[in-house]
Amino acid sequence: MTLGLINANPVVHAKKERIARNEDFHSDDLVDPLDIYDFVRDIRDPEHPYSLEQLSVLSEESVSVDEKLGRILITFTPTIQHCSMATVIGLCLRVKLMECFPPHFKLDIKVSPGSHANEESVNKQLNDKERVAAALENPNLRQLVDACLYSNEL
Amino acid sequence: MAKHNEAIWTSLKDIIHTSKQECVSSVNSESIDEITSEALVLLQNVISQNEDLFLGLIVNDGHINMIMNSVTSYKYNDVPMPEKQRLYAIGRILSVAAKVSTVSCNIVFESFFLRMMEALGISEQTSSRNGVTKGKCILNGRICFGALYLCTELLEACRNLAMESYKEPAYANEIWCSMLHSFSSSLTKALGSALTACNEDSHEKDIYLIVKALQIMATFPQGVLPISEQVFDTVLMTFMSIISRDFDKMLIWKPMLKALVQIGLFVDKSPDSKGASTYAALVIEKLIPLVSLDDHRMPFSLKIEAISEISTTGHNFMLRIGQGLEEAIYAKLFEICGNGNLKSVDLLVQLLECYSNKVLPGLRQTGDSEEVALRFAFNIWNQLEKTSEFSSNFQQKELLDAAMMTMKLAVGICSDKSQTTIIQKAYTLLSASTFLSDSFSSRDEWLISLFSSVIIALRPQTHIPNVSVIIKLFLENVLKAHIPSAQALGSLVNKLPLKISPNKNVSNDFSLEEALDIILSMLNSGLLQTNGVVGLAWIGKGLLMRGHEKVNDIILNFLRLLMSSDGMSPLEDGSLMMSATDAFQILMSDPEDCLNKRFHAIIRPLYKQRLFSTVMPILLSSIVNSDLPITRLLLYRVCGNVISDTPVIALLNEANKLIPVLLECLSLMIEDILDKDRIYSLMLVLSAILMDKSGEEAVIENAHIIINCLCGLVSYPHMTLVRETAVQCLVAMSGLSHARIYPMRTQVLQAISRALDDPKRVVRQEAVRCGQAWGLIASRSLCF
């Protein structure tokens, strides 16, 4: 258990302007990366009172979706190479996306290539169903995830 | 003291420079943050207190001079952001400095104006040169953004100064005035050619700036230096040539039109000035022929848009444009009488709509609108009189609808005396035509429809001749399914006097009682048919709105129709019953085209609430007592029609009784796609009840059935708004007491998970909110 913050001085960027989507009354609205990004961009960082967007952990370009196959792929960039909060962030993303999308969507959550020292093991952990379920049964972890997801509403 | 000034100047400069607000916006408002605006106010104050000292500091400031010397980028996009911020800051500072007084304006102009002109490549106009050199900042007609921005700020500042001291135009001899005067002509020409060189690749902010600069030049106080009449004319001609020629460059066309409107509003403030007459000659008189000419290069909708916008600039201009449009309307009407084609019909519809939507309402606010409206109505009837042949073009429904609305609006403006003369004119024409009982030709339809329009728009005090003949004519046409005739009858019974006052000297006056005798005897005699029911519905509406008790008989007639089915074949039965159901929708509706305030209807307050409280108990007891499922279905539909148009406040008192009825209506109508608008209206009522505090008790009592119904509607395939509202209602339900709603949590979450997959984004987003709301009412445990 490390004392103090993992990354004490993160670089904070401005929030990008939110675009209002045009409604097309005649055709169906397919799920596009911006839909997904809008759900996750405001998730709070576990350590700092900033959103993942402000800390450039996430960007719109890091989201891709294939509606026909029902797959969503998100890659995120932890602020430092040895960030042990990476798994928590990944968990937050998974919980949020599971709430926002129907069960048939498959979610792949990964750290962006080269951004973390233990990239392979982190990716494996983030996409393992049983380990995710076990993590969510841990009340402390659950509380932390809830704080990251819902602190806007409190 | 000088030391303090310097310190103040440095601080203010820093503050103004750190403002991050965008300055050149395509919307005309400059929004700067509070700190910067306070800094600018302070700057203005200190300059006015120590003019020489402060202006000296500004003029000699190294930073400002450096920026001045380097404004050479051509386009908005070429200027990097930090440099743009500096530019805006300097622009604000110079603008504030120039506005303080004539002296300060002179100093600012002396120091900076010439350099700006040089940067733009513009030299003084002389008789030999046209004043534009291809200097470093004009390349292919493009203008330097930086220099132009600063120049525009100065122009605006000195214009404001000129406006303030307009009463004493002593500024004619001031330095700034003569400097501007000597450059104004060449500047205008350069800006004009830059504008013509703009295309779809140009940035909208570059275009905005050029247009703004020209607009400022054209809105200096008239007749006084520094802007000569010639410059004013040039600006208007430049704008008009773009309007009529470059209509495919929307990026330029729209700002141009807005600028022309602003100039028009400005010159209208002094309508007798030379500027106003020049504007009329160069703009108005050039626009009007556009709608008459069959020039198909410019899209007609754009011509109409240009004319509509310019018509709002002033009363005199509106009158002239109205006149021009009228002539175009008569000409087009004449054309399509002969031959014409669908295109001409479409153009005529657009002309009529422009006249109805812009000219007539605009004139309504002024005194001479009656003259215009009366003339228009008369001319239309004259034209119809002269037309013997009604070509197939006249069968276009859109055309007839547009003509009817224009006639209604025109007649509605007129006084009661004028309205009487119009009725007489129309009646003469009508009585000269023979209406054959079986056929309904184009001509018949036009004459009777336009006559209905006249009747619909009458004031209650207008005297109507030959009322009994008119009523019988309308009744015959009602039975031929002519809706405007039904609406005209409704309007008549709404406005006719109750009794003839014995003191009145007017003969041929008709009372409501006499009218109703004729109407009801004709409609009630024999077997009632569907068209008769529709007619009765409109008549009932007219009576309901004024609070006449005869409406109760009519309503009972409808209910009797719903509940009896003897003596008729099932087919007739069905359509008759459906008309009776729809009659209630007519009774409760708010039509745009008749029986409203615009057309002088008599409206007793709370009439809908009265109908609701009269009819609802009868309906509810009939539902309970009826045996046939078809009857119950129809009664529920009637309930739905009544509930959806009753003001919510009246419904809340009876919410406990009404909620089950409402939900039953929803479930009965869910199958038929034709009912989707009715379902949506009922959903709006339900959501209003759910949101209101006073409905809470009733909602809690019925929580279970409400949630059942909403979960079904979440998948309603025919209308997105219904699904969206259903999900929103479920969000509202999540706020109720935990004990009542917890058992239904699973059902709701299942419905919501289907909504997460909805084809429409807006429904998916609401579903996420709903899922979160219902998830919060229990501990968070997600199932995989």
Q: Which pLDDT score is estimated for B525?
A: 63
3-state SS assignment for residue A111: strand
- Which residues on chain A are in Cβ contact (under 8 Å) with B753? 102-103
Q: Which of residues 94-123 of B touch A (CB under 8 A)?
A: none
Residues of chain A contacting residue B734, judged by C-beta atoms under 8 Å apart: none
Q: Which chain B residue is nearest to residue A34, measuring alpha carbons?
A: B761
Q: Which chain B residues are within 8 Å of A39, Cβ to Cβ?
A: 768
Residues 84-113 of A with CB under 8 A from B: 95, 98-104
Highest mean pLDDT among B78-87, B127-136, B410-419: B410-419
Q: Which chain A residues are closer than 8 Å to B772 by Cβ?
A: 99
Contact: B771, A99; criterion CB under 8 Å: yes
Q: List all residues 6 or more positions away from A44 whose beta carbon is below 8 Å from its beta carbon.
A: A50, A51, A52, A147, A148, A149, A151, A152
- B210-252 per-position pLDDT tens digit: 899 999 988 887 655 667 788 888 889 999 988 888 888 888 8
Tell me, what's the pLDDT at B436?
Answer: 57
pLDDT digits (tens, 9 = 90+) for B634-683: 999 999 999 999 999 999 988 999 999 999 999 999 988 889 999 999 99
DSSP strand pairing (A71-76 vs A63-66): antiparallel
* Band of residue B587 on the pLDDT scale cut at 50, 70, 90: very high
Q: CB neighbours of A29 closer than 8 A, spacing ≥ 6? A: A23, B759, B760, B761, B762, B764
| Lookup: tokens for A6 | 């993992």
Q: Residue B43: what pLDDT?
A: 86
Q: Which residues of A touch B762 (CB under 8 A)?
A: 23, 29
Q: What DSSP designation does A44 have? A: B
Give chain A's length: 154
Whether B318 has a pLDDT exceeding 50, the answer reads yes
ipTM value for the complex: 0.88
The Cα of A45 is separated from the nearest Cα of chain B by a number of Å equal to: 20
pLDDT tens, B381-404? Answer: 998 888 877 777 777 889 999 999
pLDDT digits (tens, 9 = 90+) for B728-741: 999 999 988 888 89
> How much is the pLDDT for B471?
92
Residue B339 has pLDDT above 80, yes or no: no
Interface of B with A in 711-740 (CB under 8 A): 720
Q: What is the pLDDT of residue B574?
A: 75
What tokens were used for B187? Answer: 């500047």
Task: Report how far Cα B248 is from the mean position of its chain's Cα atoms.
Answer: 24
pLDDT at B74 over 60: no
Q: Which among B642, B688, B640 is positioned nearest to B664, based on CA atoms?
A: B640
User: How much is the average pLDDT of B157-181?
Assistant: 77
User: Distance between CA atoms of B479 and B481, rounded to whole angstroms?
Assistant: 5
* pLDDT recorded at residue B131: 46
pLDDT range class, residue B26, cuts 50, 70, 90: very low
d(CA B128, CA B126): 5
Considering just the CA atoms, what is the radius of gyration of chain B in Å?
A: 35
Other beta carbons within 10 angstroms of residue B252's beta carbon come to: 24
Which tokens in the block code for residue B48? Answer: 């006015």
**What CA–CA distance (Å, rounded) separates B736 from B360?**
51
Does B775 sit within 8 Å of A28, measured CB to CB? no
DSSP label at residue B111: I
Total H helices, total E strands in chain B: 39, 0
* Mean per-residue pLDDT of chain B: 84
More confident residue, B465 or B525: B465
Contacts of B754 in chain A (CB under 8 A): 102
∠ CA(B687), CA(B692), CA(B694), 5° rounding? 135
Q: How confident is the model at residue B2 (pLDDT cuts 50, 70, 90)?
A: low
Confidence of residue B438 (pLDDT cuts 50, 70, 90): low
- Give the confidence band of B567 by pLDDT, cuts at 50, 70, 90: very low
Rg over alpha carbons for chain A, rounded to the nearest Å, is 16
Nearest partner of B44 among B83, B8, B14, judged by Cα: B8
> Residue A100 is nearest to which of B759, B760, B768, comparing CB atoms?
B768
Counted across chains A and B, CB pairs separated by less than 8 A come out at 37
- Residue numbers in chain A where pLDDT is lower than 50: 1-2, 154
pLDDT at B244: 84
The answer to which of B134-148, B370-384, B720-734 has the lowest mean pLDDT is: B134-148
* pLDDT for res B76: 67
Instruction: Place B134 in a pLDDT band, splitting at 50, 70 and 90.
Output: very low
Nearest CA in chain A to B750: A102
Question: pTM here?
Answer: 0.82
Mutation target to probe the B interface, by most B beta carbons within 10 A, among A18, A26, A29, A128 is: A29
Q: Give percent of chain B with pLDDT exceeding 70.
A: 88
> Cβ contact (<8 Å) for B754 and A102?
yes
Structure tokens that stand for B297 in this block: 């290069």
* Other beta carbons less than 10 A from residue B739's beta carbon: 8
Q: What is the pLDDT of residue B47?
A: 86
Amino acid present at B708: N
* Partner B, chain A 33-62, Cβ-Cβ below 8 Å: 35, 39
Please check whether residue B176 is in contact with residue B105, taking contact to mean a CB–CB distance below 8 angstroms.
yes
Which tops the pLDDT comparison, B706 or B54? Answer: B706
Instruction: Please report the pLDDT score of residue B470 as a whole number.
Output: 92
Query: Cα separation of B457 and B120, whole Å?
Result: 60
DSSP output for B252-276: HHHHHHHHHHHHHHHHHTSTTSHHH
- As a whole number of angstroms, the distance between CA B664 and CA B631 comes to 14
